[in-house]
Structure 1
Amino acid sequence: MDFEHVLTTKITINGVFQDFQLYSGKFYLWLSTNELVVYDWNKWMKHLAFVNRTIYFEPQPTEQLALNIEALEPFKEKAIFFSEPIYDSAIFNHVLYYSDASGFYRYSLIAKEAKKERLSSIPMHQINLSKSGRMALAAGEKGLFEYLVSSYYLFNEPVYQLTPRLVQLSERYTSKSEWQNHDLIHYGANPQVEAYLLKMNEKKGLLQLVSDELSYSTTKNHMASIQELPLSLSLDKPSMDSGVLFSFETDKVTLKKDPLYRSKHIQILTRLETESKEEFDSLDDLVIHETNSLLTISLQNIHLLSLHSLPIINWRIYSRTRNYRNQVHLLYENKVVLYLFTEVKR
């Protein structure tokens, strides 16, 4: 697949938010008021198909929408209230896992009379769910933990267990972690300087700790240009003051795209996830990679998107899903930005 057959759709939701999730046809937004609002994602996407907007074809197919939270009101299903701001979240098997200053919790998203259940009094600063269904928890000075969210996995040797399903993997200060198959890279207080590789064996669901050693320095010098998109997109025609009136031309040809912005072939994977794949199996994969200055998404080693990483509070891909694995969502101080990549025919 080449660039001219990948449509980049950027949707900006203006406002102050704590977190976001996309799961099983529902879009979740945590507002600054500690309110979790649930929206019908499919209904919203179908509505967008009728919104008239310009699609630019050069240098690659791109489109953009910007809206305020009030525009999502027709797609709102319900709201769930929380007592305080959350640190991070994950959804597994229709159960929401989240953490705040008072600890680590779970909450059923489908039970009629669901209640918030505290799993630990330790606040988890990052919740990292792997593609194979394992959950790593970064708890700062408390160390690195794993919550055995799936009953398939079990440690076959004595490990330090806070609860029957909450296991401490390392006592080192852990600011965040990243899965590499069944191994974990976990980062210290300064993620740009130190990283540790926690190796684990896995056989038919049985887990065994092997080693936990300093892996590498993540400090690198990056001399790269910063370009968010090929041009500044808008629903309106560019004006003389915009400086891009004569920079690009729109094509008269229409695009054939999936009405729900799903993709049969495109998926976004981390660089660590792609290392275990054969090269010929990865031609349509988009690779996301974060450094100390850039967040990039590449197709066949060519940047499709480059963003300053410093303003980004959090970002999330959905590699465990079938319908949303072509998306990356980013949280900023005053907005949430959704990038959807879909293959198109011209």
Structure 2
Amino acid sequence: MKDRGLERGAWMDKEHLLMTKIIIEGDFHDFQLYSGKFYLWTNQKTLNIYNWNKWMQQLTLIDRPIYLEPQPTEQLRVTLDDLAPFLERTLSFSESIYDSALFNHTLYFSDYTGFYRYSLVRKDAEKIRIWEQPVYSISLSPRGRMALSAGEAGLFEYLLSSYYYYEQLERQVATRVYQLNSYYASQAIWDHHDLIQSGRSQSELTYKTQFDEQKGQLHIMNSLPMTQLSDSLTSSVQEYLLPLSLNPPSMQDGLLFSFEMDQQNVKKNHLYRSKSVRLIEELPASLKSSSYSPDFLLVIPASPVFKVILQNEAILELPRQEIQKFRIYNRTRHYRNQLHVLLDESLTLYLFTEINR
């Protein structure tokens, strides 16, 4: 009999969703996962690049139990020393980095001297300044667009691809850089082709810039104040805590927990990939009007509780004030089942994979 949780078109349930929690101990600045490489800023001037696939393959060699109640979970705690065998290169920067993003094997970053790009494939690569304006937050859209939040200077877009173009040339401030509005912007979130920006506080959504896009031609329609924000989900949710181990597990001892709650065999992808599992960020302003597949995992970063919800039920809850930054990877097919969360003294990777039981 075919497993109901894995049938095409069937709704996923939490019994067939494995949550793998990998805790990397340390104080980090930023992180990204891109094209089989894991990019970890150990501080604002040092970027370590690890071979992600080799690391994941090594994890499959560790014999470990999996908790099945209240939902399938496993946990691993590692240090930078544990990741050393997978380190491919280290990049050093003379100035402290504000923010960074990866696109088409190019690193885009900003410091107090401006906004730069750096090729990750050319051996003779040098950092190239695109714009003299410091950028505090860089946001990539699933459609290959890049928003630049520049504080008092406002919100801008850097045209990554030649597919997109503006005819509103009066908005151009540098090569392929266009001003979207002059309102204070600390960060921006993409909503399809539109942008929702934050003011001086990143938790305060202030303006929504709406675009008309026709075959790559972009036209800014307006930038409207966000006078009303939808409330968080009103349906009741239940908190599910990860089972706790009696002793801190390590990568060397081969155990993710110090005891096992169930001896059933679980089959999962050896690279922690899952074609049917996808995380998406729920925007507060569109909460009531949006409709999603029931198998999507909704990431709701609203204060005071950061939630991941499956079919109106919370499968993960974290105190929002403890989170410095989080990333989901909706631009890639292989990593869109992952949530990475930066805390004060660790980086936690949540990998959600579909399993057979």
**Which of 71, 81, 92 is the aligned partner of 1:60?**
71
2: CA distance between counterparts of 1:43 and 1:220?
A: 42
**Which of 261, 264, 270 is the aligned partner of 2:275?**
264
**Which of 232, 243, 246 is the aligned partner of 1:231?**
243
Letter of the 1:323 counterpart: H
**Which of 30, 49, 56 is the aligned partner of 2:60?**
49
Listed one character per residue, the Cα deviations across residues 265-315 of structure 1 (whole Å, up to 9, x for unaligned) are 001111249999764xx1221111111212211111211111111111111
- State the partner residue of 2:24: 13
Task: Report 1:85-164 matches (<5 A).
Answer: 85-164=96-175
2: CA distance between counterparts of 1:342 and 1:87?
A: 32
**Which of 309, 325, 332 is the aligned partner of 2:336?**
325
2: CA distance between counterparts of 1:91 and 1:84?
A: 19
1: CA distance between counterparts of 2:288 and 2:53?
A: 33
Q: Is the 8 A contact 2:101 2:109 kept in 1?
A: yes
User: Could you tell me how far 1:176 is from its partner in structure 2?
Assistant: 1.2
Return 75-84 or 265-274, whichever deviates more.
265-274
Q: What secondary structure does 1:179 align onto?
A: strand
2: CA distance between counterparts of 1:294 and 1:143?
A: 29
Residues 137 and 235 of structure 1: CA distance in aligned 2, closer, same or farther (over 3 Å): farther
2:311 is equivalent to residue 300 of structure 1: yes
User: Could you tell me how far 1:157 is from its partner in structure 2?
Assistant: 2.5
**Which of 71, 92, 95 is the aligned partner of 1:84?**
95
Listed one character per residue, the Cα deviations across residues 118-154 of structure 1 (whole Å, up to 9, x for unaligned) are 1112221111000000001111111101000111100
Residues 8 and 194 of structure 1: CA distance in aligned 2, closer, same or farther (over 3 Å): closer
- State the partner residue of 2:9: none
Query: When the two structures are superposed, what TM-score results if normalisation uses the length of structure 1?
Result: 0.90
2: CA distance between counterparts of 1:199 and 1:146?
A: 13
Letter of the 1:291 counterpart: A
CA RMSD of aligned residues (A): 2.5
2: CA distance between counterparts of 1:209 and 1:340?
A: 37
User: Could you tell me how far 1:84 is from its partner in structure 2?
Assistant: 2.4
Residues 324 and 216 of structure 1: CA distance in aligned 2, closer, same or farther (over 3 Å): same
2: CA distance between counterparts of 1:125 and 1:33?
A: 13
1: CA distance between counterparts of 2:226 and 2:64?
A: 48
1: CA distance between counterparts of 2:45 and 2:289?
A: 39
Q: What secondary structure does 2:321 align onto?
A: coil
2: CA distance between counterparts of 1:110 and 1:262?
A: 25
User: Could you tell me how far 1:318 is from its partner in structure 2?
Assistant: 0.6
Q: What secondary structure does 1:321 align onto?
A: coil
User: Could you tell me how far 1:230 is from its partner in structure 2?
Assistant: 3.5
Residues 226 and 115 of structure 1: CA distance in aligned 2, closer, same or farther (over 3 Å): farther
1: CA distance between counterparts of 2:61 and 2:248?
A: 16
Query: When the two structures are superposed, what TM-score results if normalisation uses the length of structure 2?
Result: 0.87
Q: What secondary structure does 2:323 align onto?
A: coil
2: CA distance between counterparts of 1:258 and 1:320?
A: 20
Letter of the 1:71 counterpart: D
1: CA distance between counterparts of 2:232 and 2:308?
A: 18
Return 252-261 or 263-272, whichever deviates more.
263-272
Task: Report 1:158-197 matches (<5 A).
Answer: 158-197=169-208
1: CA distance between counterparts of 2:288 and 2:140?
A: 18
Between the two proteins, what is the percent identity of the paired residues?
A: 45
Q: Is the 8 A contact 1:26 1:41 kept in 2?
A: yes
User: Could you tell me how far 1:171 is from its partner in structure 2?
Assistant: 0.5
Q: What secondary structure does 1:212 align onto?
A: strand
